[in-house]
Amino acid sequence: MLTFPYSTLRASSILLDIFGQTVASGLTNTGQQQRVNATGGGLWTLQLEFPQFNTANQLRAWRVIQYGGADGVVPINIAICDIRQAPRPFGEYVNTSVTHSDGSSFSDGSLYSSALISANLTANAAVRATTISVAFGNGSVPLGGEFFSLRYNGGLNEIHVITNVVETATGYNLTIVPPLRAAHVTGETLNFDHPTGTFVLAGPGSMSMATVMGKRGTGTASFVEYIPE
Amino acid sequence: MNLDAAIQAQIDGSLIRASYLLYVDSTPPVRAWTGVGPIQVAPWGQDATGGRYLGIGLLGGVPALAQLVNGTAARLDMSLSGVDSRIIDLAAGGSDDIRMKPVSVGLVFMGEDWQPLSTPLCVFVGDSDVIRFSSQSSANGERSREITLSVGSVLTGRRRPNYSYWTRASQRALSSGDAFCDRVAGYNVDSELKWPP
């Protein structure tokens, strides 16, 4: 299992999509068309583009994933940069324990704070469920369209997107896509800060990097979601 | 076949959510479906207990199902691409376990929540017979392996007689008064027949 070096390799272009086998019958004279989707929810695909690597660390990190991924054999946890769309708390901040580098606080005694998202399941969710019950802390409000992830099978991660939000007495009922890959229990944490999915390289040659003078490089990578046996 | 009302309503619409199920009545049984990830399926067809079906996702394919047309009995070749060498070894080692076992193909319709709308429909029943393997390399060094399970329907080979021997016992079993093969035991490769005997 590898972890994509999110902080070292920042993709300039992220294309996260659900691939499905949809068969269309063709358009009739009346404009009607029937489609058949046979995937049971679809499979994530991910394409990343990196216009330029400038540091030796970036080149080395890329090689670790490219060769360590073994043409799609080794699973890789990849976090998706989606901070702007995450359900950040409004005006409420937590994690107020960070000081200046010398250990001091601000003049009023306060410390650094960050708007971490707190979200937990409030009910058990079965495998292949498409609706989950979630309670948010710190005033976060989901609007739909946010990515999040859940951990399962130890170190694997399944990533989902919210497609519908219904407020309840205890939180929210979220409709998600694709269906859950595993069963989850009450209290599990939803990761909105760094939504992470477990992928594998789409195949041989799906991750490549060209270097200039051995110093700078550009790279592209394609992945598909990893589904354990 | 009477379709459930929910299935009828979906068929009348513009989007159909349906996946194929494959069940092989071997020991242990093989349960697979054309979706992604595992799915729990209720009893249907020859799968008397139902169970957890393994998603073969985008790598598996179910061929077109044909009815008996002009006396030609259809045979299904179901293939699974992208398998690794371990799966090939397992399939080769256990091919006897799956040969001549009943095979069912079902169709499960799903709602917007991607849960089964009703009990799956059994659309094909046959017997597995031949497993084939193929492995090909491409120019970029990629090697693709494929397993194909050939399944015959109840009409496949219906005009083909059972195997038998040209012996007295076999011939008398077919027709008790037939003495055509009574002297077979006395013949061998170097026998020279004298005529008249």
Give per-residue pLDDT as tens, A50-94: 888 889 999 999 999 999 988 888 999 999 988 889 888 766 556
* CA gap A4, A224 in Å, rounded: 14
**pLDDT more than 70, % of chain A:** 93
pLDDT at residue A89, rounded to an integer: 78
**pLDDT more than 70, % of chain B:** 75
CB A84 within 8 A of CB A31: no
Q: Which SS3 state, helix, strand or coil, does residue A15 take?
A: strand
The verdict on a CB contact (< 8 Å) between B113 and A204 is no
Closest Cα in chain B, distance from residue A25 (Å): 10
Residues 6 or more apart whose CB falls under 8 angstroms from that of A24 comprise A33, A34, A35, A36
Measured CA to CA in angstroms, residue A74 lies from A6, A69, A113, A156, A227 at distances of: 17, 5, 37, 12, 12
- Mean pLDDT, range A185-214, rounded to an integer: 90
Beta strand A2-3 pairing with A76-79: parallel
- Mean pLDDT, range B158-168, rounded to an integer: 74
Q: Which of A33-42, A178-187, B158-167 has the lowest mean pLDDT?
A: B158-167
pLDDT digits (tens, 9 = 90+) for B35-68: 888 888 999 988 999 998 888 765 555 555 555 4
Q: Is A34 on the interface with B (CB under 8 A)?
A: yes
Measured CA to CA in angstroms, residue B145 lies from A99, A187, B84, B135 at distances of: 57, 42, 7, 4
pLDDT at residue A16, rounded to an integer: 92
pLDDT at residue B69, rounded to an integer: 47
Q: Which of B36, B38, B141 has the CB atom closest to A39's CB atom?
A: B36
Q: Which of A32, A43, A128 has the CB atom closest to B115's CB atom?
A: A128
Whether the per-residue pLDDT at A37 is higher than 90: the answer is: no
> ipTM, 2 decimals?
0.72
Q: Which of B36, B40, B140 has the CB atom closest to A41's CB atom?
A: B36
The secondary structure element, H or E, covering residue A135 is: strand A131-137
Amino acid at B148: T
pLDDT at residue B88, rounded to an integer: 66
- Mean pLDDT, range B79-108, rounded to an integer: 73
Q: Which of B16, B36, B110 has the CB atom closest to A34's CB atom?
A: B16
pLDDT at residue B123, rounded to an integer: 86
Query: Of B64, B77, B46, B44, which is closest to residue B156 (Cα–Cα)?
Result: B77
Q: In Å, how far from its chain's centre is CA B53?
A: 17
Whether the per-residue pLDDT at B74 is higher than 70: the answer is: no
For residue B73, give the DSSP letter: P
The verdict on a CB contact (< 8 Å) between A178 and B14 is no
- Confidence grade of residue B72 (pLDDT, cut at 50, 70, 90): low
Nearest CA in chain B to A26: B14
pLDDT at residue B157, rounded to an integer: 62
pLDDT at residue A165, rounded to an integer: 96
Closest Cα in chain B, distance from residue A19 (Å): 9
pLDDT at residue B3, rounded to an integer: 81
CB atoms within 10 A of CB A216: 14
Query: Of A169, A171, A172, which is closest to residue A131 (Cα–Cα)?
Result: A172
- Confidence grade of residue B177 (pLDDT, cut at 50, 70, 90): very high
- Confidence grade of residue B126 (pLDDT, cut at 50, 70, 90): confident
Q: Which of A83-92, A193-202, A216-225 has the lowest mean pLDDT?
A: A83-92
Q: Is A84 on the interface with B (CB under 8 A)?
A: no
- Mean pLDDT, range B11-33, rounded to an integer: 86
The model carries a pTM of 0.75
- Mean pLDDT, range A16-35, rounded to an integer: 75
